[in-house]
Each structure stands twice: as C-alpha cells, then as structure tokens.
Amino acid sequence: MTTRPASFVTQEPTAPRILHAVPAGQPTSVHQLAPGLLEAYEAVGGQVHLAGCALEDVPVVRFGGDPDRQVPEDIILCPEQKRYQSVESSLSALLGLGNVSDALPPAAAPGEWIRQVVADAADFAGQSESDMEVVVIWCKYVRGKIQCTIGEALAEQAFEGWAHSLKPPPFHCEVTGADSLRLAVTSDSRIIAAEQMGQCSLTAKRLPNCELVRCSVTDRLVAAENVARCPVVLKPLLPDELVTCSSCREQVSPEALYGGTCLVCGSLRRARFDDDRLLRVFASIPRLAAWKYFRMGESASVYVLTASNLFKQRLVVVDKISGQLRHAAQGVRFSRVWTPLAEKEFSESL
C-alpha cells in the first residue's frame, strides 16, 4: 500500500479518513478467473467449463496511518456469517493483503454501509476510528461450479474461495472416491477420475478399476459381474476356467482340484450324530439318518457327505442355503468309484 493518500476517499468532517484498496493482481471478474481455472482440467473426449460463477466484494478493514500507534490486525467481515474476525497470517496470505494497491470502492457498496462496516470493525477491535486513517481492502470471494461434459454424461464440482489464491478444485469422483483434475467417461456414461479408468478384457467396456476383478487363473481383468468365485479356494475366475470335481460334480477352480477331485472331497472327515451340519443334511434327506457311518466336508456353497453301512456307500451334495440336493451317487464301501444317481433313484436307494 502506498502511503500517499489515495484519490478515492470517502470522508465526512467527523468521520474517519477511509481509503480503498484491493490485493494487487486480484482477479476481478469471471472473465479473468476462468482461463487460469479451466486450463488445469483435462476431460478425455469432452470439455470443461465454468457454470454459475459469482464474485462478492468482502471488506477487510485495516486501521493505520499513524506509525506510532499500536495497530491491530486487519479485521474482516466474514462473507458467510456476516460477523467480524481478525485476519490471521494464513488468511492474510490467501487474501493477498501483503501487497495492496489503491482502488475505487465497489460500485455496489453504498458509502453509508461502508462507514457502518468501519464503525463495527472498530468496535470489534476496540479502536477509536474517528481520528485515524482506515483502509478498506476489497477482497473478491468466488463461488461457482465447474462443469464437465463428455458425450451425454455430465459432472459438476462446486467450489468457493478467495479470488486472489483460488486453485482449480479437483472433481470428487463419487464412484472411486478419488479427487482428480483429469476426467474420463465409462462405457455406461459415468464421468470418473481418468486415473481410475480400466477396461474389461472380455467385453472391452471402460469401467472403474474398483469394478474390475483379476481372474486368478488367467490374470485377465474383467468386470466383476463376469467372474465366478470358486467355492473351495474362494478366488475369482472366469466361468470358462471352472473345472468339475469328479466326485461332488461342483464347479471349482483348477487350483482346488487334485487328481480330478476337489479339496473338499479329498479331505472328508468323520462326522458324529451331534454335528450341526449333519443334522442340517438330515433335515433335507431324513432317511439318511438311518445310515451308520458318515464323513463330511463343506465348501462355501455345499455340504459334501458320504453315508455308509457295512457294504454300501452314498454320496450327497447339499446346497448350504436352500438345503436342496445338488448331486447324489452310490458306490461300494471303501471304494472311490461313484455312480451318479438321479434324485428319484437316490430316494429309492436309501
């Protein structure tokens, strides 16, 4: 601020001497703000523009003029709350108060209102403003929206802040949680952070990485809706990669199969009559309870049970949720050879 009295003075005989200033280099219009903001964005295949941007003049009152007098900090009339507050150094830097230049008061600010602001600020600071020089520094506060359009898709990011130090606000991607200045559109017309964009190797659809899954067999990235999950090793894989266990006939990952039999079938354990899982299978197939010896195992989706008596064996695979029989077979005790049975045949064989 120059010490030279500015030409633009609002003065009355009994009123303080009020000068007006602005932070040097402060953008004063949307036209001045827009290029610096928009050049920071990249919309792949689309464009970014300002929507609904408005600037408000906010007064910061600086008491001074007498170097021997203890001058309080600058007092700001906060834009939202319409209350007064001392300007701390961090805010002072954001406002650009370290380097101000003479200016006209805003056309929209009546002299009476300005005098009232100065009087109220003096009250707040415990100063008598009547005999000192007062500078009102007019700081621009900006509110607006950045809008991104890519094809038919549209995304908006609201922002606000001081024009002197306004930085381009990153878009907050609701899908991935990422904040980014680079935007791209998914195949289903969602604008997301470009850094988070992936592609399904099956369908070539562009999708957020968080909606893609890596197949544990082929290592290919595919849409989560296109993968299966092995109920034994609990890993995702492409449905085409599933293999069938020769014993329980469940579809599993090759990783879960040894010698044609899945890990569940290969590790059945003796089950006692008080085993809850066994009781659940009995609830679905009551006549099994008449058999003598049981061995059991389970995957994420089924119970696998063998029931045997002195010479015969039955194998049943029961859905854990529905209790439905998914597969049944018969064999000779101690043999690993199973002959599949249709449900009716199985019922009759018990």
Which of these segments, 71-79, 146-154, 176-184, 241-249, binds Zn ion (CB under 5 A)? 241-249
Task: Give whichever of 149 and 301 is closer to Zn ion, judged by the CB atom.
Answer: 301
CA 11 and chain centroid, separation: 54
Task: Give whichever of 206 and 235 is closer to Zn ion, judged by the CB atom.
Answer: 235
Task: Give whichever of 10 and 253 is closer to Zn ion, judged by the CB atom.
Answer: 253
Residue 21 burial class via C-beta count within 10 angstroms: exposed 0-12, middle 13-18, buried 19 and up: buried
Smallest gap, in angstroms, from Cβ of residue 326 to Zn ion? 11
Task: Give whichever of 19 and 265 is closer to Zn ion, judged by the CB atom.
Answer: 265
**Alpha-carbon gap, residue 262 to 254, rounded angstroms:** 9
Smallest gap, in angstroms, from Cβ of residue 228 to Zn ion? 16
Residue 265 binds Zn ion, judged by CB under 5 A? yes
Which of these segments, 21-29, 112-120, 192-200, 262-270, binds Zn ion (CB under 5 A)? 262-270
Residue 245 binds Zn ion, judged by CB under 5 A? yes
Task: Give whichever of 121 and 262 is closer to Zn ion, judged by the CB atom.
Answer: 262
Cβ proximity of 38 and 32 under 8 Å? no
Smallest gap, in angstroms, from Cβ of residue 298 to Zn ion? 11
Smallest gap, in angstroms, from Cβ of residue 262 to Zn ion? 3
Residue 247 binds Zn ion, judged by CB under 5 A? yes
Which of these segments, 30-38, 109-117, 208-216, 245-253, binds Zn ion (CB under 5 A)? 245-253
What's the Cα-to-Cα distance from 69 to each of 87, 88, 117, 162, 247, rounded to whole Å?
Answer: 19, 20, 21, 30, 95
**Alpha-carbon gap, residue 333 to 328, rounded angstroms:** 15
Smallest gap, in angstroms, from Cβ of residue 265 to Zn ion? 3
Take residue 291 and report the two structure tokens written for it.
């058999």
Among 58, 114, 262, 271, binds Zn ion (CB under 5 A): 262
Task: Give whichever of 25 and 259 is closer to Zn ion, judged by the CB atom.
Answer: 259
What's the Cα-to-Cα distance from 284 to each of 247, 288, 303, 318, 349, rounded to whole Å?
Answer: 20, 9, 12, 8, 16
Task: Give whichever of 147 and 261 is closer to Zn ion, judged by the CB atom.
Answer: 261
**Alpha-carbon gap, residue 346 to 190, rounded angstroms:** 52
Smallest gap, in angstroms, from Cβ of residue 248 to Zn ion? 3
Smallest gap, in angstroms, from Cβ of residue 233 to Zn ion? 12
**Alpha-carbon gap, residue 43 to 94, rounded angstroms:** 28
Task: Give whichever of 101 and 330 is closer to Zn ion, judged by the CB atom.
Answer: 330
CA 289 and chain centroid, separation: 52
Task: Give whichever of 151 and 254 is closer to Zn ion, judged by the CB atom.
Answer: 254
Which of these segments, 88-96, 205-213, 214-222, 255-263, binds Zn ion (CB under 5 A)? 255-263
Smallest gap, in angstroms, from Cβ of residue 261 to Zn ion? 6
Which of these segments, 135-143, 159-167, 248-256, 276-284, binds Zn ion (CB under 5 A)? 248-256
Residue 248 binds Zn ion, judged by CB under 5 A? yes
Residue 196 binds Zn ion, judged by CB under 5 A? no
Kindly state the number of chain residues that form the binding site for Zn ion, as judged by CB under 5 A: 5
Smallest gap, in angstroms, from Cβ of residue 266 to Zn ion? 8
Binding residues for Zn ion (CB under 5 A): 245, 247-248, 262, 265
